Every structure is written in structure tokens, then in C-alpha cells.
Chain A
Amino acid sequence: DAKTTQPPSMDCAEGRAANLPCNHSTISGNEYVYWYRQIHSQGPQYIIHGLKNNETNEMASLIITEDRKSSTLILPHATLRDTAVYYCIGPDSGNTGKLIFGQGTTLQVKP
């Protein structure tokens, strides 16, 4: 299973972009990186995933480096409701889709 490394916590001012980094140096060429978030007392919520091209959806953008060893999740205009734990997840080596969560990054959006 690909291991990911994230900073334990980050702060962001409301209305500003939140940039959450993730290192996944052991990921192989055909493995996706997934991002989830978990708001307090809720189940995790899927945000976005990518392989090697940058991706954007209504929630966020995902920038993946050319060597695929790291990525950055961007919330373009953070709101107080974006305060959550954000998980960067590498794929399961057994191809079952199971998610291997790490500790994630606790993002605190401040007014």
C-alpha cells in the first residue's frame, strides 16, 4: 500500500485559498491518489482523486507533481464550514478499493 505523509495541522483565513500538501513517494505509475475530508462527528466525504493530470471539481482542485511523488489539494475560497480533517490516501495494493487512512491534516479555517 502506498504510504502518504501530511502535516498534522494547518490554519487558513476565511476567504483565502487553503493549500494542503501530501507526500506519496512510494506511489506507482498507475495508482490514483484520493482525497477525503471528515467534518467533526460525520463520516468521511470524498473530495477528489487524480492520477497524473491536475483535476478540478466543484469542491476543490488537485495538483499532482510531474514525478507523482506529491500533490496539493486546493480549496480556492475556504469557508468556516471547510474546517475538517483532510486525508490524502494512496491506493490499496490488493486492488479492492479499500482506503488506508493516515492521520490526515486538521485544517482550521479562521474568521
Chain B
Amino acid sequence: GAGVSQTPSNKVTEKGKYVELRCDPISGHTALYWYRQSLGQGPEFLIYFQGTGAADDSGLPNDRFFAVRPEGSVSTLKIQRTERGDSAVYLCASSPTGSGIQYFGAGTRLSVL
């Protein structure tokens, strides 16, 4: 079956612009996670959804970052007033129940010029 899909695969933007990154989880998975991975580092947790609600957003670095999952399926990570330091690969993962077994997408590579 289909895995986790993330679009776009690459996004280039200019400093100060707004971007949206999309994640389509595996059908039926109630849990959805966003992570960010900088070059040479392990992924870093950003936010966790259980259904439509953000159950843990402790990893969001500041209020420029926001994520939604309005119908409990597709999620969008939104970044306002992008900065060069936001350049990274943004990974999405889904899980049937919110456990440590997660299925990751290939990520969106964001480059802020």
C-alpha cells in the first residue's frame, strides 16, 4: 500500500517568505509526527498529532512554526517569515496508535536563500 507522502520534495524560498509543507500519512494512522533534520544531525522532534489535535508541540522552535491536521489525516506544517536557519529536511511520520513504531516519508528539503 501507499506509504507516507510528503510534498513538495524540494522547496526553495527567500528569507522572509511563508511556506507550507504537506504530509499525507498512511490511511488509518491516527498519530502523525513532524521532525526536522539538519545536515549531519539526527532528526529532531517538532510536533505530534493524535487525531486532529496537537497532543505535543513542545518541539516547535518558536511561534513562526505552526502545524494543522484539520480532518485527522493530511497535515500541513507552516513556517512564517522564513530564516536561513530554517533550512533543513522536514520529515513526517505516521503511526497506527502513537507508538515508537513510525513510518516516515522521504521528507521535504527546504532551502531558505
Interface residues of A (CB under 8 A from B): 32, 34, 41-46, 49, 85, 87, 89, 91, 94, 96-104
Give the residues in chain B near A102, CB-CB below 8 Å.
Answer: 42
| Closest-CB distance, A20 to chain B (whole angstroms) | 15
Give the residues in chain B near A49, CB-CB below 8 Å.
Answer: 100-101
Tell me if A's interface is mostly helix, strand, loop or mixed. loop
Please tell me if the beta carbons of A96 and B42 are within 8 angstroms of each other in the complex: no
List residues 32-46 of chain B with CB under 8 A from any CB of chain A: 33, 35, 41-45
Choose one: B97, B100, B105; the contact of A99 (CB below 8 Å). B100
| Closest-CB distance, A46 to chain B (whole angstroms) | 5
| Closest-CB distance, A23 to chain B (whole angstroms) | 16
- Given the interface pairs A44-B43, A104-B42, the reply to whether A91 lies near B104 with Cβ below 8 Å is no
Give the residues in chain A near B33, CB-CB below 8 Å.
Answer: 97-99
| Closest-CB distance, B69 to chain A (whole angstroms) | 15
Query: Which residue of A is nearest B97, CB measured?
Result: A97
Please tell me if the beta carbons of A43 and B106 are within 8 angstroms of each other in the complex: yes
Query: What number of A-B contacts does a CB cutoff of 8 Å give?
Result: 62
Number of B residues near A (Cβ < 8 Å) is: 27
- Given the interface pairs A43-B105, A43-B106, A91-B100, the reply to whether A96 lies near B48 with Cβ below 8 Å is yes
Give the residues in chain B near A32, CB-CB below 8 Å.
Answer: 100
- Given the interface pairs A102-B42, A104-B42, the reply to whether A97 lies near B100 with Cβ below 8 Å is yes
- Given the interface pairs A99-B43, A100-B45, the reply to whether A43 lies near B93 with Cβ below 8 Å is yes
Please tell me if the beta carbons of B56 and A42 are within 8 angstroms of each other in the complex: no
Please tell me if the beta carbons of B104 and A96 are within 8 angstroms of each other in the complex: no
Choose one: B48, B59, B97, B100; the contact of A89 (CB below 8 Å). B100
Please tell me if the beta carbons of B44 and A98 are within 8 angstroms of each other in the complex: no
Choose one: A91, A94, A96, A101; the contact of B43 (CB below 8 Å). A101
Interchain CA distance A50-B55 in the complex, whole Å: 25
Give the residues in chain A near B97, CB-CB below 8 Å.
Answer: 97
